Amino acid sequence: MLYDLPAPAKLNLFLHVVGRRADGYHLLQTVFRLIDLADRIDIDLRTDGKIVRETDMVGVPHDQDLVVRVARALQAHTGITQGAQINVQKNIPAGGGLGGGSSDAATVLLALNRLWNTRLNRETLMRLGLALGADVPVFIAGQNAFAQGIGEQLTPLLLPQRAYLLVQPAQSVPTLAVFGDPDLTRDTDPVKMTDFSGIKLFDEFYGGIDQKSGSSQSFGRNDLQPVVLKRYPVVQQTFSWLKQADLDVRMTGSGACLFAGFANVQQATAAHQKLLAKTRTDFSSAAVAGVFNPIQSMSVCEGLSEHPLRHWVDS
């Protein structure tokens, strides 16, 4: 049995769509940043070979859940006859662009590789994960990374410590709808670099930290963001409200979550407290009758240097 296993979320510090393959998959360039917001997973062995997800997931049928599919993929690849009972405690918002489903799948794959003693190496696990989702490999690789291709070509990055204010709008965004939108920019010029690693280079490339506000100034953009802001009014309202509060916010992945980077937790927490006070002023039903609060939740997260389970598998 393995209990309380972390499945951390990710941020896309930027996300450029640089082309499209003949099979319809989009070609991307992005930086994946792991953060300490995480789902928690418990796994018990079964002797009957069945893969059972204990947790009900709204809108995710049992057999379509990535954690079930990835466990069955590992069984098929290795011929293992054991099964697993999987319980997922969700803390990462669904439909938020934070990679929660992919991270859950990666943690289950890493855990079952150990629990079933299948002893596959990291490269093999990443291939199994990629067949189920383009974001799964980065969680198995276990490092912050510059990604290309459909997100599977990973170059590890040493990123400076940062804290993030994470804002979840009261609206989810379906990934397929965003990538299929005719207004999506698909021809951003690729980033050219010979070395995209190291704290000093990263700080120079990203513009570092604004000394007055403590917020980080990011390179590039998220090409999916204009489509989401145009099509999803609650996300647009949240984004505009945060900009009015002088925050340099950006959407992660295909949305809907928005984030702002800070030099440290103290500065991110101070910004969080100011926004909480502002929500009470701007959206309190007692103060402003009939005004809709577009924000589901806000939290402060820290960037991780690596996945907590990274060393559970041989390179």
Our answer to whether residue 10 is catalytic in this structure is yes
Of 157, 187, 213, the residue that ends a domain is: 157
**Banded model confidence at residue 214, pLDDT cuts 50, 70, 90:** very low
Our answer to whether residue 90 is catalytic in this structure is no
Q: Is the pTM of this model over 0.75?
A: yes
Examine residue 308 and state whether it is found in any structural domain, yes or no: no
Q: Measured between alpha carbons, how far is 283 from 31 in angstroms, rounded to an integer?
A: 34
Q: Indicate if 107 and 244 belong to the same structural domain.
A: no
Q: Indicate if 187 and 297 belong to the same structural domain.
A: yes
pLDDT digits (tens, 9 = 90+) for 78-113: 999 999 999 999 999 988 999 999 999 999 999 999
Q: Indicate if 111 and 49 belong to the same structural domain.
A: yes
Residue 209 has pLDDT above 70, yes or no: no
Residue 133 has pLDDT above 50, yes or no: yes
The one catalytic residue in 10, 39, 104, 223 is 10
Tokens of 10: 């990710």
Q: Measured between alpha carbons, how far is 24 from 17 in angstroms, rounded to an integer?
A: 13
Residue 196 has pLDDT above 80, yes or no: no
Q: Measured between alpha carbons, how far is 255 from 213 in angstroms, rounded to an integer?
A: 25
Residue 210 has pLDDT above 70, yes or no: no
Q: Indicate if 88 and 102 belong to the same structural domain.
A: yes
Q: Indicate if 132 and 184 belong to the same structural domain.
A: no
pLDDT digits (tens, 9 = 90+) for 165-177: 999 999 999 999 9
Range of the structural domain that residue 40 is part of: 2-157
Tell me which of 158 and 299 has the higher pLDDT. Answer: 299
User: From the CB of residue 191, how many other CB atoms can be counted at a distance below 10 Å?
Assistant: 17
Q: How many domains does the chain have?
A: 2
- Supply the pLDDT for residue 22: 87
User: What's the average model confidence in pLDDT over 42-66?
Assistant: 93
The one catalytic residue in 39, 65, 135, 223 is 135
Q: Indicate if 211 and 75 belong to the same structural domain.
A: no
DSSP-derived 3-state class of residue 207: coil
Q: Indicate if 30 and 77 belong to the same structural domain.
A: yes
Of 157, 180, 207, the residue that ends a domain is: 157
CATH code of the domain covering residue 107: 3.30.230.10
- Supply the pLDDT for residue 11: 97
Q: Indicate if 146 and 197 belong to the same structural domain.
A: no
**Banded model confidence at residue 203, pLDDT cuts 50, 70, 90:** low
Beta-bridge partner residues of 165:
260, 300
Q: Indicate if 83 and 213 belong to the same structural domain.
A: no
Q: Measured between alpha carbons, how far is 9 from 60 in angstroms, rounded to an integer?
A: 19
Tokens of 194: 């010979």
Examine residue 315 and state whether it is found in any structural domain, yes or no: no
Examine residue 215 and state whether it is found in any structural domain, yes or no: yes
Q: Indicate if 218 and 262 belong to the same structural domain.
A: yes
Q: Which of 35-39, 192-196, 222-226 has the lowest average pLDDT?
A: 192-196
